[in-house]
Structure 1
């Protein structure tokens, strides 16, 4: 079962772009940690929106937990796990 934040959305959001090696690595880490904890996550392609490109283009992948900026460039699994269990 996946759980959601207070607004019913995925707790983890990953801003990324296709063909980004760091994004692929981040997705694998986020997927593994979320699967382990029964959490959900969503991916958002920043290339679909000029505002997202401006906000995140130099730092992708960018990870948010419960709508708050958590990590960029790399996702540390222990840090993500801690954030998800502390805010649950």
Structure 2
């Protein structure tokens, strides 16, 4: 399955938990793969995105940060 969605987050982030639930639901419905990475594992990602997590990317381009709007995500994948 093609991983079209990437979410950058970190453990213990409540907004990340909310975003993950939306992404899991949409990805399953649309039939696309997704991946999650922790900014804590990469100093460059942490420096760039620490104030924006969770950050979502669709097809390699930044899509959203802080919150994931389900309708916008579905439209981006459609």
Query: For this structure pair, what is the TM-score category when the shorter chain's length is used for normalisation?
Result: over 0.9
Question: Which protein, 1 or 2, shows the higher relative CO under an 8 Å CA cutoff with sep ≥ 6?
Answer: 2
The reply to whether residue 15 of structure 1 matches residue 8 of structure 2 is yes
Give distance in 2, aligned partners of 1:84 and 1:65: 8
TM-score normalised by length of structure 2: 0.98
Structure 2 residue corresponding to 1:59, chosen from 52, 59, 78: 52
| Structure 1 residue ranges, 4+ long, deviating more than 4 angstroms after superposition | none
Between Structure 1 and Structure 2, whose CA radius of gyration is higher? 1
Structure showing the higher strand proportion among its residues: 2
Give distance in 1, aligned partners of 2:48 and 2:76: 23
Secondary structure (helix, strand or coil) at the match of 1:11 reads strand
RMSD over aligned Cα atoms:
0.5
| Runs of 5+ consecutive residues of structure 2 not aligned to the other structure | none
| Runs of 5+ consecutive residues of structure 1 not aligned to the other structure | 5-9
Counting matched residue pairs gives 78
